[in-house]
Amino acid sequence: MSKISIKDMNLWYTDFQALKNINMEIQKNEITAFIGPSGCGKSTFLKSLNRMNDLVAGCRIEGELLLDGENFYADDFDVNMLRKRVGMVFQQPNPFPMSIYDNIAYGPRTHGIKDKKTLDEIVEKSLKGAAIWDEVKGNLNKSALSISGGQQQRICIARALAVEPEVLLMDEPTSALDPISTAKIEDLVQELKKDYTIVMVTHNMQQAARVSDKTAFFLTGEIIEMGDTKEIFSNPKDKRTEDYVSGRFG
Ligand SMILES: Nc1ncnc2c1ncn2[C@@H]1O[C@H](COP(=O)(O)OP(=O)(O)OP(=O)(O)O)[C@@H](O)[C@H]1O
């Protein structure tokens, strides 16, 4: 069974249809990348996967959206539990204005964990998981805003890992970072897929080609083609995919 299964999904912002007839299977422990020109609906679709669009007035979704076979848009599906299971990392590193430790402990605390030793363990494990423990272990009480952008983004990944999600959604996680930080995040994402299912929007086609297992090409709210990343980049079936991946438009 797919980790996430989307069937005949349509999405409107008031009367503008931003996603049309989306069908997609996202497999466990794989990295799925979304590529496509600006405004084609990649972020909209990504945000639908943990119901972030619920917060947008006038947004309406039709279709079947399943997590482990369960409809996560059903009235009785707990949205807080969904967001715990499906975590998100944004384009701009957005640590909370508090210490590194408190950033990571924030989620577990809101889920009722108060014991200091348990929190210490979660903080260490999450920072190790995000490959930043060695850089910050002596400075856990330092403000998370006082470290570099690349480090902040790994703190945000650690913060997402701290609540033990199953899926990580990443919306252009390296677009605000320098090449060295980008390479670190790309290596990290490869490591993380052993334990998590990762869905990533990227504007950087080399990045999609380097890190992802599957790639979906979006154009004006539709998925034109989805498949093994190697196939999408070396042997696309649709002319529009070929034009896009070869840099002829977008
Ligand atoms: N809150 C909103 N209300 C109305 N329209 C919106 C809203 N958010 C996005 N849109 C529109 O939906 C379409 C898809 O936007 P979306 O941000 O999902 O595209 P994208 O592919 O992620 O673009 P980019 O690569 O530039 O981030 C665009 O036409 C956009 O203007």
Q: List, chain by chain if needed, residues with CB within 6 Å of any ligand 1 atom.
A: 13, 16, 18, 36, 38-44, 56
Q: Which atom of ligand 1 sits closest to the CA of residue 34?
A: 21
Q: Per-residue pLDDT for the chain (250 aa), expressed as one digit of tens each?
A: 899 999 999 999 999 999 999 999 999 999 999 999 999 999 999 999 999 999 999 999 999 999 999 999 999 999 999 999 999 999 999 999 999 999 999 999 999 999 999 999 999 999 999 999 999 999 999 999 999 999 999 999 999 999 999 999 999 999 888 898 899 899 999 999 999 999 999 999 999 999 999 999 999 999 999 999 999 999 999 999 999 999 877 6
Q: What is the 93 CA–ligand 1 centroid distance (Å)? A: 20
Cα torsion through 149, 154, 157, 162, rounded to 10 = -130
Amino acid, res. 229: T
Q: 18 — phi, psi (to 5°)? A: -90, -25
Mutate to test the pocket of ligand 1, among 9, 43, 47, 52 (most ligand atoms within 8 A of CB): 43
Atom of ligand 1 nearest to the CA of 47: 18
Nearest atom in ligand 1 to 14's CA: 4
Residue 250: predicted pLDDT: 61
Residue nearest to atom 29 of ligand 1 (CA): 39
Task: Report how far ligand 1's centroid is from the alpha carbon of 223 (Å).
Answer: 15
Domains of the chain by start residue, with CATH: 2-246 (3.40.50.300)
What is the ipTM metric for this complex?
0.97
Ligand 1: nearest atom to the Cα of 36: 21
Expressed in angstroms and rounded, the spacing between residue 100 Cα and the centre of ligand 1 is 32
Distance, in Å, from the CA atom of 8 to the CA atom of 64, rounded to the nearest integer, reads 7
Q: What is the DSSP string of 94-153?
A: ---SSBHHHHHHHHHHHTT---HHHHHHHHHHHHHHTT-HHHHTT-TTSBGGGS-HHHHH
Please give the number of the atom of ligand 1 that sits closest to the Cα of 45: 18
